[in-house]
Amino acid sequence: MNSETKWIAILSALMLLIGICLGIAMDRFLFRPVPPPLPPIAGGGPGDALGRRFGKMALDHMTHVLALNAGQQEKMREIFRRYMPELRRARRAGGDLTAIRVKMREEIKKVLTPDQFGRFEEMFRRRMELMGMRPEGTLPPPSAAPPQAAAR
């Protein structure tokens, strides 16, 4: 192989390598679509990204577990938009969330089928228990003694 052929081979390999690197870079930075911003599920202001993200995750989870159709998803999204600011205000003020949750669940009951609503109630009950709350949404009174271990 003469000197000229060697340089042509080296330059060809170098151009191929540069082309591959540029192709990968363009794919990663130019051609991949930028995901749209999350919709304001929780109804907060610009500083409420965490609430929107959590609201979207909650709705996605309910969509999966309850097998919601598109119409039900939109109605649920609207219910959350309406009630989340009210729930936040009551939570910050240390108020009772029970009345708000009852109204919210009544509206949700109208959107879901009886089977879906049963599964929703079970999800809600488990969530309240994980948070150390009674299902109706209130904390047990602080004076309540923890359950005693069974006598041996």
Span 6-64, pLDDT tens digits? 999 999 999 999 999 998 888 877 776 666 665 554 444 444 544 555 567 778 888 88
Residue 123 lies in a domain: yes
Provide the token pair at 108. Answer: 């949700």
Provide the token pair at 89. Answer: 């205000």
Residue 37 lies in a domain: no
Residue 114 lies in a domain: yes
Whole-model pTM over 0.85 = no
The answer to whether the beta carbons of residues 103 and 83 sit under 8 Å apart is yes
Torsion over CA: 72, 116, 90, 130 (sign):
negative
How many domains is the chain built from? 1
Residue 20 lies in a domain: no
